[in-house]
Amino acid sequence: MRAGTVISLASVHDADAGGGARRQVLYRGFVSEIFVPYMDPVEEWYYRTFLDAGEYGLGLWVFPLQPGGDCPADAAYLDGYYAGQDGNPVEGKNMICVFERFAGDVAWRHTEAGFPDHLITEVRPDVSLVVRMVVSAGNYDYILDWEFKTSGSIKFVVSLTGLLEVKGTAYIHADEIVQDAHGTLVAENTIAVYHDHYVTYYLDLDVDGTNNSFVKSTVVTAAAARSTDGGTPRRSYWTVRREVAETEAEGQVDLAAGLPADLVFVNPGKKTRIGNEVGYRVVPAGATAASVLADDDFPQRRASYCKKQVRG
């Protein structure tokens, strides 16, 4: 129950394959850790650097979901079970909900207007199957969604809600603050302390099998060749440099540094009809910041993985 929801053996329905085959994508996936360091270094606060999964267990802080509030009215619910401190099984009612989501988004569309007196338009709606769990860890509530899309992609979303962690102060107006208060004055005599939430996922991908490689393709600038007979007027273009990670260190990616990159798990033993490697792309989105704490700071030393957003 440390991890909460665990997604196992996720696959994609390939309608083009004979009989509509199921193709492997994700062997196992879950939230492996949530690092929450607060930024007030004083005696009463410096130790508040939490590892919500490792220290408390996400699944232990899941409570019954409220129909119509936490989940839509037509959602289905799943119970959860875990071993209690005495070894006996503990049942949690309505810990996970499953529902279909359509918010009017478009998965794919195109209009072809090149034919005389004939307009062709096709639109495919973006409909998803959502698996949701809500973790109430102390003052914060994490709404953890796994979203399975008709495109074959898997999207995971974390929504933070609940209550701010605050401290008392003598300040009653922002103009009174003359030194670093390590937070924001949100009410009279009340400061919400600066902090981070680094949510880390463990993803064991099996793309069409277990023989997978992690490939980083980087966009690089190249000079256009110029010849005496005129050639191209262009001076430059961009192309792709492909790197296959051979070690764990080479699989670490800092999304904030360097050039735009495409991250793909490929199966080098499987090819498409035209000879490309079968792969599944990792698309970072939303908040992808890395930790800015000093490397020798004790909270950072135990959460050193937060210096890189991807570790292949």
Active site residues per annotation: 52, 140
CB 76 within 8 A of CB 99: yes
What's the token pair of residue 286?
């939303």
What's the token pair of residue 285?
């989105």
**What share of residues in the chain are helix, strand, coil (percent, to 5)?**
5, 50, 40
| Residue among 287, 266, 285, 284 at smallest CA distance from 275 | 266
Neighbours of 141 (CB within 10 A): 17
Kindly report the CA angle at 84 between 133 and 303, in degrees rounded to 5? 60
Neighbours of 238 (CB within 10 A): 11
